Amino acid sequence: LFMIFGDLVLRDTSFKANTAAKLGGGVYMGFSSSLDSSSNTFSGNTAERKGGALYLVNTNELSSRDDKFADNKAHDGGCISLILPRTDHASITSPVLDGCVAQHSGGAIYFESSTDVTLKVGSATAQNNKAVNGAGGVVYWSKESDRMNTDINPAVIVTFVSENKNSAVVGNVVA
């Protein structure tokens, strides 16, 4: 699914065994788009570069609740890549993150920001996620500096219901 400049509501949908040559194996959203996602399953999706299941770039809003991500793969962000969001917060509530693999960083979630945005991942179940050659077995976040604005403070807040058997070169859980 490819979408730019729009709002998308996903409910009780399955994205299985999809492949993207570069970004967003299941869903690619960008440029002023908003995603409201609930009770969906993303399994066995692959992206060559970022976002095995979901790739979101310059999006206005991300709200994900009770979504299941299993066995998705990418270079960065085995399940989800959230790049340069245009909002002050993004939330992923009660996700199941199982068996997602990034060849580099962010086994399950890769988050990159150049603004004061907070990513909240709450009540997560995370197991068997891997950042094979990089950091953040479950979550990796990067503060991309803007030479004009060096006073930015993106943040990540993560709470787990269950977390086990996640691995990375640096930061088995969060880096």
Phi, psi angles (nearest 5°) of residue 81: -120, 125
- Please tell me the pTM assigned to this model: 0.93
State residue 149's pLDDT score. Answer: 53
Query: Pick from 74, 63, 51: which is nearest to 8 by CA?
Result: 63
- Please tell me the distance from the alpha carbon of residue 47 to that of residue 57, in angstroms, as a whole number: 15
Query: Pick from 133, 136, 145, 62: which is nearest to 97 by CA?
Result: 136
State residue 142's pLDDT score. Answer: 86
Q: 130-135 and 2-4: which strand pairing?
A: unpaired
Stretch among 65-69, 106-110, 141-145 having the lowest mean pLDDT? 141-145
State the average pLDDT over residues 61-90: 92
pLDDT tens figures, 133-153: 999 999 999 876 554 455 667
